[in-house]
Amino acid sequence: MRIISLVTAIAVVSILYVLVFERDVLKGFSSGKNIEELAGDLGDGPELNTEASVALSKIKKSEKTITVVVVKSTAKTIDSAVILRGETAAARSVEVRSETSGQVVNEPLRKGKTISQGQILCSLDPGTRQASLADAVAGLAEARARVPETRAKLDEAKARLTEAKINFNAATKLSEGGYASETRVASAKAAVRAAEAGIASATAGFDTTRSKIQSAEASVAIAKKEIDRISLKAPFAGILETDTAELGTLLQPGALCAKIIQLNPIKFVGFAPETELNRIVKGSAATAKIINGKEIQGKVTFISRSADQTTRTFRVEIEADNADLLISKGQTSEILIASDGTQAHLLPQSALTLNDDGALGVRTVDETSKVAFFKTDIIRDTVKGVWLKGLPEETNVIIIGQEYVTDGVKVQQVFQEVKN
């Protein structure tokens, strides 16, 4: 028991000596100095007693260098695409509705059917529309037939006015020479006025005839338009999203006949945050990936300049070819929009760590085998790892053991090959 107590006392004295008289040496040891440097520092100070020398010898024997696993990483230029989450949308969509009243007289087309532009979707009973058109055409013909008669009357009235003016001029000159009476002059003047009234009447009749022609032409156009309205046609080629109206259904103005969507080209709609808006340019190449893994190439066709009031994001649309119609409306998609390239490193996610300030980054090992921390930004997250920027072009990154070392600590490196 006395021997154990003696050893304990010697150890305590040695530790107290180091803590009190060799504080700088102890601090250097904690910061990563090797044991030889510490021994040199101790040699310059006061002579160590035997017990302190024994304690230092034990420390030297127990000293171990931390081993970490590193990978040698070289930066690569990658397309730092803007990544958006969105969904597919139809290029065009329309609800074909009736503009007139009538009963459907054709068999319905079933939803999912591919239709062409101009194809009849719903045919309505024409009723008396053909008769109305015939009546309007007859009225137009009658109005046009009155044109020669009214034109002849107008020409006759103009001739009478010319004759009356000649007679009036002759009577006036004869009256000045004393060869005609005042009564004859007055009669000639009255004849001129009567001829002028006849022209006014004939002109009014001619104008009335022209008005009737225009009214009849309008009636014919209305009747023809009403006949056109009984055939509800597809405004563009697409796919029926609903059945057309059933046979015998009475459609009123505004009633739905069918709904059509166009899926070629297909639209991909995403919403970009304010921070990414300036990186998106109309016409930029884009890649959209749907949930089944299929990738589709397209281009940016629209960038909203008005933010959504709730999410404060901006609508972005991409158009892509969908000739095979394999992509449907409403499918979830991931959209990558091409932007300027940047230098980045592809590293395992396990390499990421936090420093004392809470900054995200990685720890590297320099040429002197000492640890250094680099703050990084995540460019893209992939299945193979994360693309990080903010590191030197070539560096050794710690992927295992970075949580057990700090800046300036000397470590032993074990290299591991990473397959990108």
CB-based contact 402:354 (threshold 8 Å): no
What number of other Cβ atoms are within 10 A of residue 142's Cβ? 12
Provide the sign of the torsion angle of the four alpha carbons 28, 31, 33, 35, taken in this order: positive
Give the residue from 388, 394, 393 showing the smallest Cα distance to 345. Answer: 388
> What mean pLDDT do residues 265-286 have?
88
Greater model confidence, 153 or 117 = 117
> What mean pLDDT do residues 279-299 have?
88
Report the alpha-carbon angle 278-281-282, nearest 5. Answer: 140
Q: Which residues of 307-344 are buried (b: 16+ CB within 10 A; e: fewer)?
A: beeeeebbbbbbbbebeeeebebebebbbbbbbeeebb
pLDDT band at 277 (very low <50, low <70, confident <90, very high): confident
pLDDT band at 27 (very low <50, low <70, confident <90, very high): low
Assess whether pLDDT exceeds 90 at residue 199: no
Taking the C-alpha atoms of residue 335 and residue 277, their distance in angstroms, rounded to an integer, is 14
pLDDT at 62: 44
What number of other Cβ atoms are within 10 A of residue 255's Cβ? 17
CB-based contact 122:259 (threshold 8 Å): no
What number of other Cβ atoms are within 10 A of residue 211's Cβ? 11
Under 8 Å CB-to-CB from 336, ≥6 apart: which residues? Answer: 81, 82, 83, 286, 287, 288, 289
Is residue 70 classed exposed, middle or buried when 0-12, 13-18 and 19+ CB atoms within 10 A define those classes? buried
Assess whether pLDDT exceeds 80 at residue 3: no
Give the residue from 314, 313, 287 showing the smallest Cα distance to 300. Answer: 287
> What mean pLDDT do residues 278-286 have?
87
pLDDT at 166: 80
Class of domain 262-339: mainly beta
Assess whether pLDDT exceeds 50 at residue 407: yes
Least confident range of 36-40, 97-101, 232-236, 399-403: 36-40
Class of domain 68-79+342-415: mainly beta
Assess whether pLDDT exceeds 70 at residue 46: no
Give the residue from 358, 271, 269, 256 showing the smallest Cα distance to 312. Answer: 271
Assess whether pLDDT exceeds 60 at residue 39: no
pLDDT digits (tens, 9 = 90+) for 77-125: 876 678 889 999 999 999 999 999 999 999 999 998 999 999 999 999 9
pLDDT at 418: 63
> What mean pLDDT do residues 368-382 have?
87
Taking the C-alpha atoms of residue 254 and residue 276, their distance in angstroms, rounded to an integer, is 43
Question: What DSSP character marks residue 246?
Answer: P
Domain ranges for the chain, please list them. 2-63, 68-79+342-415, 94-124+230-260, 129-227, 262-339
**Structure tokens of 164?**
């009356």
pLDDT at 420: 55
pLDDT digits (tens, 9 = 90+) for 346-370: 999 889 999 888 889 999 999 899 9
pLDDT at 38: 47
> What mean pLDDT do residues 27-45 have?
50
What does residue 401 show for φ and ψ, rounded to 5 degrees? 100, 0
Taking the C-alpha atoms of residue 220 and residue 238, their distance in angstroms, rounded to an integer, is 33
pLDDT at 181: 66
pLDDT at 35: 47
pLDDT at 302: 94
pLDDT digits (tens, 9 = 90+) for 300-322: 999 999 998 888 899 999 999 99
CATH of 94-124+230-260, one of 2.40.50.100, 2.30.30.100, 2.60.40.10, 3.20.170.30: 2.40.50.100
pLDDT band at 161 (very low <50, low <70, confident <90, very high): confident
Assess whether pLDDT exceeds 50 at residue 47: no
* Domain 129-227 sits in CATH 2.60.40.10: no
pLDDT at 23: 57
pLDDT band at 415 (very low <50, low <70, confident <90, very high): confident
Question: What DSSP character marks residue 371?
Answer: E
pLDDT band at 44 (very low <50, low <70, confident <90, very high): very low
**23-30 and 35-43 helices cross at what angle (nearest 10)?**
170
CB-based contact 248:299 (threshold 8 Å): no
Greater model confidence, 322 or 26 = 322
Assess whether pLDDT exceeds 60 at residue 156: yes
Taking the C-alpha atoms of residue 21 and residue 231, their distance in angstroms, rounded to an integer, is 106
Greater model confidence, 14 or 91 = 91
Under 8 Å CB-to-CB from 370, ≥6 apart: which residues? Answer: 32, 408, 409, 410, 411
Q: What whole-number percentage of the chain has pLDDT above 70?
A: 80
CB-based contact 376:362 (threshold 8 Å): yes
SS3 of 158-215: the string is: HHHHHHHHHHHHHHHHHHHHCCCCHHHHHHHHHHHHHHHHHHHHHHHHHHHHHHHHHH
Tell me what the pLDDT averaged over the chain comes to: 81
Q: What whole-number percentage of the chain has pLDDT above 90?
A: 32
pLDDT band at 14 (very low <50, low <70, confident <90, very high): low
Q: What is the pTM of this model?
A: 0.55
